[in-house]
């Protein structure tokens, strides 16, 4: 249970950091609309076409926005995990452990 809470905390920190980055860039509303798609399993999410209409952006642009958001999320998560380790070379192993903790 502790490990699952630890993993969830790291994920929240990464999302919070992304939210701050987007807000500073004046894209807070875009982040809020797209964050449901961070996991990649957003089957219940609003379709891109509907989001595009709401945000006034082409659906193809939104898909690119999501791809960039996911890349940045992975990078931020790696940085958050690296900050918890003595040896930064252990990041990949720690990320595997994080995924296992969240899967249980």
Domain ranges (residues) in the chain: 2-103
CB 81 within 8 A of CB 98: yes
pLDDT in tens, 37-79: 887 665 557 888 999 999 999 999 999 999 999 999 999 999 9
CB 73 within 8 A of CB 15: yes
- Alpha-carbon distance 21 to 45, whole Å? 23
Residues 6+ apart with CB under 8 A from 18: 31, 35, 69, 72, 73, 76
Res 90: pLDDT: 93
Confidence of residue 95 (pLDDT cuts 50, 70, 90): very high
Res 3: pLDDT: 86
Res 18: pLDDT: 97
- Alpha-carbon distance 35 to 74, whole Å? 13
Res 2: pLDDT: 84
**What's the predicted TM-score (pTM) here?**
0.86
CB 33 within 8 A of CB 42: no
């Amino acid at each position: 249970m502790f490990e699952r809470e630890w993993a969830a905390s790291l994920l929240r920190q990464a999302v919070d950091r992304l939210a701050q980055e987007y807000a500073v860039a004046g894209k807070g509303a875009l982040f809020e609309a797209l964050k449901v798609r961070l996991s990649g399993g957003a089957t219940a999410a609003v379709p891109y076409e509907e989001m595009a209409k709401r945000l006034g952006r082409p659906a193809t642009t939104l898909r690119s926005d999501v791809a960039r958001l996911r890349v940045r999320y992975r990078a931020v998560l790696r940085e958050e995990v690296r900050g918890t380790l003595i040896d930064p070379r252990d990041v990949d192993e720690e990320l595997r452990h994080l995924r296992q903790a969240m899967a249980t």
